[in-house]
A and B are shown apart, each in its own frame.
Chain A
Amino acid sequence: MIDPALVSGLSALMFVIGLGGAFTRKNAIIVLMCIELMLNAANMQFAAAAVHHGDTTGWVYTLFAIAIAASEVAIGLAIFLAVYGQHETISLDDVDVLKN
């Protein structure tokens, strides 16, 4: 089986990619995907840690985290829809009625 260290290394990579993407991409959907990436990085870490410690709660955490991610996506998409309805765009840069 794989060495958990590698997994967590991969997760770190995913996290950095996700975080980087979150503030480089304009499109809200893609940003949302980046966020998912970060969450999944966390999940992998949990999984790896669970293996590492041989502790089942890690898996539970992962499951819960997935659930959270799912609901987050649901809410996010709903909000994006509403935004599109009002602003005719979901590009983060263009939705800036509120500022200063």
Chain B
Amino acid sequence: MQDWISMPLVGFPLVASIVLLVFVSNADESMRKRLSDPIRMACLVFSLVLLGITTGMFYQYFGNVSWEGISFNTYEFTHRYNWIESLGIHWTVGLDALSFPMVWLTTFLLPVTIIATWNEKNGAVYFPIVLAMGGALIGVFVALDLFMFYVFWELTLIPMFFLILKWGGKDRKYASQKFFIYTFTASVVMLLGLITLYFFQDPVHPLNYAGSMTGRTFDIPTITQHALMENSNGNWYLGANIQKILFAMLMLGFLVKLPAVPFHTWLPDAHVQAPTGGSMLLAGVMLKMGAYGMFRLPVSLFPHALQYFQLVLMVIGMVSLVWGAIVCLGQTNLKKMVAYSSVSHMGVILIGIATMQPMGWAAALFMMFAHGIISPMLFAVCGAFKHHYHSMEIGAMRGMAKHSPWLATSMMFAWMASLGLPLLAGFVAELMMLIALWYFLAAEGWSVFWMVGPALVLAITAGYYLWSMQRTIFEGGDETQPPASLHGEPVPDIANPEKLAMILLAFFTILFGVMPWIALDMMHDWTIQIFEGLILPVLGGFSGGA
């Protein structure tokens, strides 16, 4: 077992980027220009190394871990170092079938992002920041210590903040601050929840890895184990009332990050203003942090509360799903539309979680993964519009397909993938969500009208996507109508790096659409594991399925 392999995943990108940044920071303008090429190359190589590591992990080249059959609350590639002993804080990393796909996704999106934004201005600073972003994101997913988890959770804000602030659009000043403050506010409430949870541990029979000063631990596996023990002996871990409160406090942080209506308004602003690379990482991975956190903490620790809040979650999910889609119809800005479509898709995840069915959870996990591949492509396309046409207004141009076949094709592909065309990644998740939802409704005797939301959205999504395509790349007669923002210059097609990025994303979208089992099997296995390891022992004959 090469356990150490999980360490460089976090440390390497962060250290590398900090080194590069310090190195760059006292170079003058001309020097930076000269530096930007080698640094870009270096960042690409680093990220490819990371991708190699995770892919190696998957193909059992490292540590030959089979990603199936990992029982609930056991982790591979685990590491534990003392960090702040007095508080029971350890540097604990580990992977299971829940976090591994996310980690792989991050390491996959890093090089793609770098390639897609190959010609970003001030690259000597930009690419290291992207790398740092990746490191922070990976940290969130591999952290098995509440403190470490929270630290990385907040750490992701800083690079993203600078990406938006320095490389963003016109209102980037407002958007970046809103993004930071909004998500930070939610997560500090979550922090208080975590600390309260921390101190509700039993100090009389202290757990492993407890702090010398506090007698409690931040160690997630230990806490989960303890919670499982407490939960499965009939009564609620920490008692019903406290559990509900803590569940709500944690959920707030995750729902804002997801984001779910009505906590979503930071997203459109952030997305519209963020640079392409920022949007790709933001939509691709950062939103998934919310869903990941839900599975990792509230679901794993407080199944009773999950069941208690099932209806609430279902409602929020439905509202996000429908509201996001309908708002999309009313958008005239390409990127804003795509941003709201993300809100809608995150609703799918929430519904999947709320069904409390292995199938629904697998659907949620696969949606996290699929959307993580598709949405970057969506934003890459939007970025290409911004970059080449200087305009993202739907209807500001016509017949772009004539001059930019590549861009048109990528757009068509991404749009189709996002509206859930079969044999593309998104469809599998949506199908499973529908089935799980219906099964749940039928078994629970809930009203059938819960299906109206998803049904409506299936049509609406197609509606706004086709509408936007018709009014950008199609029509236009024999002489296409390029956007006024081009000022009559010849209409360019996307550059080669962008083409490469598009092809990569498209390839994986098809791959996971045609052969979903590559990723789905491990997710399916994890959902079965958590269900049989946690939900059934704890909730036994609960009415969450039949």
- Indicate whether A and B are direct neighbours in the complex (CB within 8 Å): no
